[in-house]
Structure 1
Amino acid sequence: MPPPGQSGPPGAVLFVCAYNSVRSPMAAAMFRQYFGHRSYVGSAGVRKGDSDPFTAAVMEEVGLDLSGHKPMTFEELEDLEGLNFDLIVTLSPEAHHRALEVTRTLAVDVEYWPTSDPGAAQEGTRAQRLDAYREIRDQLLDRIEQRFGKPGFGR
């Protein structure tokens, strides 16, 4: 059920981060698992990054396959399908500023969910790095549940 005062997810949601390699694909995959039957979801980055194997690994742990994810920029997404979204959720300051810039003449809501980038830290063991990615995955899932409600998808 959606939280009090919420009517569930909008018809189309875009998640945006810096490179479309970690945070936005994670959020989009989990949102799609919850609400894909009711809402369209996309993800993009301010700049184009590379697919992140740690992202794919921690998402596979919860049954979501991101092995085929191809990072894309705002501009590539706009050229491919337009920016026809009801809500854009930005996950980094840079993404938030870019979304506000790109949508200033569009009727779209933009929300900022500050989210650390686990890919920025190149130190630590593989296990430590995976733990950092898991923490971000779980934070994003909690935020999605708080904002849009909690259908039956478990960790």
Structure 2
Amino acid sequence: MVESKKILFVCVENAGRSQMAEGLLRKFAPQFDVISAGTKPKSQLIPNVIDVMKEIGIDITEQKPKELTNEMIAQSITVNMGCMDKKSYPALFVDDVIDWNISDPKDKDIEELRKIRDQIKNEVLNLITKLDDQ
């Protein structure tokens, strides 16, 4: 039996971008094992992030911010959502991190959140294509 590829989406607070990416990958590529995490996770997701995901039929209300572990990094293909805080983001020191450089959704209005969501969706769909070709 072939083990599914593990994908890890990382940002500092694990309350927005990485959670959107996790929800999108679960929907479009359930064959992959996906998780998101952060180095300083918040206690809950950004409410408007949940709302913009519901607009495209993805419910992430059950997802919770999680703390990033070295084990997660070691076992996964790691995607940095755009966090560049070297003190808070140890995965920057991993050789094969994919970096998407996506804006932080914190304190953004709903229109900006939609743009961020759509950018993440495009990145996720491109990632799926690349992973399926491997």
TM-score, normalised to structure 1, is 0.70
Aligned residue for 2:35? Answer: 42
Length, aligned pairs only: 123
Q: Are 1:15 and 1:44, in contact at CA under 8 Å, matched by a contact in 2?
A: yes
- Cα distance between partner residues in 2 of 1:24 and 1:113: 11
Contact 2:11–2:89 (Cα < 8 Å) also in 1: no
Q: Percent identity over the alignment?
A: 30
Structure 1 consecutive aligned stretches of length 4 or more whose deviation exceeds 4 Å:
none
Task: Kindly report the root-mean-square deviation, in angstroms, between the aligned alpha carbons of the 2 structures.
Answer: 2.3
Quote the residue 2:111 is aligned against: 131
What secondary structure does 1:149 align onto?
A: helix
1:93 is paired with a residue whose SS is coil
Contact 1:46 1:94 survives alignment (8 Å): no
Q: How does 1:11-30 map to 2 (within 5 A)?
A: 11-30=5-24
Where does residue 91 of structure 2 map in the other structure? 99
CA contact (8 A) 2:13 2:41 kept: yes
Which position in structure 1 is the counterpart of 2:48?
A: 54
What is the letter of the counterpart of residue 129 of structure 2? G
Question: TM-score, normalization: structure 2?
Answer: 0.80
| Counterpart residue type for residue 85 of structure 2 | E
Structure 2 runs not aligned, ≥5 long: none
